[in-house]
Amino acid sequence: MSSFTESDPLDTVTWINSFCSLLGHEYFAEVSEEFIEDDFNLTGLQSQVPMYKDALEMILDVEPDSDMDPEPDEEDMDDDEEDVMRDEEGYRIDAHGFRLPRGRSISDQSIIESSAELLYGLIHQRFITSRPGIQQMAEKYEAQHFGHCPRVFCNSTKVLPVGIYDTPGIDTVKLFCSSCMDVYTPPNSRFQSVDGAFFGTTFGCLFFMTFPDFQITPQGDPLNLASTHPIYSNTPYVVLREPATVTRRDSRSSSLTSASAPTVPSVPQIPAEWIPPSNQPTTINGTSTGNLAPGLGPGRIHEPKIYGFRVSERAKTGPRMKWLRMRPVDITELDEVGRLGNDRDEDMGDQDATTIKTGKNGTKTATAGQRKKAAAKSRRNLPAADGANGTGQTAS
Amino acid sequence: MYRSQFISSRGNEYFCDIDEDYLTDRFNLTGLNADVQYYQHALDLVTDVFDVECEDEMRDHIEKSARHLYGLVHARFITTTRGLAKMLDKYKKGEFGKCPRVNCGTQHLLPTGMSDVPGTQFVKLFCPKCEDIYNPKSSRHASIDGAYFGTSFANILFQVYPALVPEKTTARYEPKVFGFKMHAAAALQRWQDNKREEMIERLKAQGIDNPFAMDDDGDDEGDLSSGHEPMDIAGADDL
Ligand SMILES: [Zn+2]
Ligand SMILES: [Zn+2]
What is the tens place of the pLDDT at every residue in A319-346?
999 999 999 999 999 987 645 544 444 4
Segment among A28-32, A107-111, B114-118 with least mean pLDDT: A107-111
**CB nearest A390 (choices: B101, B155, B230):** B230
Q: Give the pLDDT confidence score for residue A160 in this predicted structure.
A: 97
B206 and B154 both lie in a single domain = no
Structural contact between residues A364 and A278, judged by C-beta atoms closer than 8 angstroms? no
- Show the domain range for B150: 94-164
Q: Is B36 part of any domain?
A: yes
Say yes or no: B157 contacts chain A, CB-CB below 8 A: no
Q: Is B24 part of any domain?
A: yes
Q: How far is CA A388 from CA A307, A381, A383, B130, B196, in A?
A: 47, 14, 12, 30, 20
Q: Give the pLDDT confidence score for residue A83 in this predicted structure.
A: 59
Q: Give the pLDDT confidence score for residue A10 in this predicted structure.
A: 54
Say yes or no: B107 contacts chain A, CB-CB below 8 A: no
How many domains would you assign to chain B? 3
d(CA A111, CA A103): 15
Mutation site, A224, A306, A332, A345, interface B, largest B CB count within 10 A: A306
Q: Is B126 part of any domain?
A: yes
B183 and A306: CB-CB below 8 Å? no
Q: Is B218 part of any domain?
A: no
Q: How far is CA A156 from CA A189, A204, A218, A292, B110, in A?
A: 20, 17, 7, 16, 20
Q: Which amino acid is at A260?
A: S
B114 and B53 both lie in a single domain = no
Q: Give the pLDDT confidence score for residue A65 in this predicted structure.
A: 60
Tell me the pLDDT band of A127, cut-offs 50, 70 and 90. very high
Q: Average per-residue pLDDT in chain A? A: 73
Tell me what the mean pLDDT of segment A119-146 comes to: 97
Segment among A269-283, B2-16, B178-192 with least mean pLDDT: A269-283
Say yes or no: B137 contacts chain A, CB-CB below 8 A: yes
pLDDT in tens, B11-48: 999 999 999 999 999 999 999 999 999 999 999 999 99
Torsion of CA B92, B95, B96, B101, to 10 degrees: 70
Q: Give the pLDDT confidence score for residue B108 in this predicted structure.
A: 98
B7 and B73 both lie in a single domain = yes
Say yes or no: B160 contacts chain A, CB-CB below 8 A: no
Q: Is B236 part of any domain?
A: no
B139 and B201 both lie in a single domain = no
Model-level pTM greater than 0.80? Answer: no
Q: Give the pLDDT confidence score for residue A342 in this predicted structure.
A: 45
A85 vs B143: which has the higher pLDDT: B143
A334 and B182: CB-CB below 8 Å? no
**CB nearest A209 (choices: B103, B124, B236):** B236
Nearest to A59 by CA among A39, A81, A30: A30
Say yes or no: B224 contacts chain A, CB-CB below 8 A: yes
Sheet containing strand B232-233, strands side by side? B176-177, B180-182, B232-233
Say yes or no: A131 contacts chain B, CB-CB below 8 A: no
List beta partners, residue A99: A93
Q: Is B48 part of any domain?
A: yes
Tell me what the mean pLDDT of segment B156-172 comes to: 96
Could you tell me the CATH number of the domain that includes residue B150?
2.20.25.20
Tell me what the mean pLDDT of segment B227-239 comes to: 41
Q: Is B182 part of any domain?
A: yes
Chain A environment of B232 (Cβ under 8 Å): 392-394
**CB nearest A393 (choices: B100, B114, B232):** B232
Segment among A108-122, A355-369, B79-93 with least mean pLDDT: A355-369
d(CA B87, CA B16): 7
pLDDT in tens, A72-112: 444 444 444 555 677 777 777 766 666 766 667 778 888 99
Q: Give the pLDDT confidence score for residue B7 in this predicted structure.
A: 95
Element (H, E) at B141: helix B139-142
Could you tell me the CATH number of the domain that includes residue B65?
1.10.1820.10
Tell me the pLDDT band of A282, cut-offs 50, 70 and 90. confident
Instruction: Give the B window 161-220 contacts with A, CB below 8 Å.
Output: 162, 165, 168, 172-173, 175-179, 182-185, 187-199, 201-203, 206, 208, 211-212, 219
Q: Is B136 part of any domain?
A: yes
Helix (H, G, I), strand (E, B) or coil at A121: helix
List beta partners, residue B134: A151, B125
B99 and B63 both lie in a single domain = no
Output the CA A183–ligand 1 centroid distance in Å. 8
B28 and B70 both lie in a single domain = yes
Ligand minimally distant from the alpha carbon of residue B108: 2
pLDDT in tens, B60-69: 999 999 999 9
Tell me the pLDDT band of B215, cut-offs 50, 70 and 90. low
d(CA A82, CA A92): 12
Q: What is the CA radius of gyration of chain A?
A: 28
Shortest distance, CA B72 to any CA of chain A (angstroms): 15
Q: Is the pLDDT of residue B132 over 80?
A: yes
Segment among A147-156, A191-200, A206-215, A356-365 with least mean pLDDT: A356-365
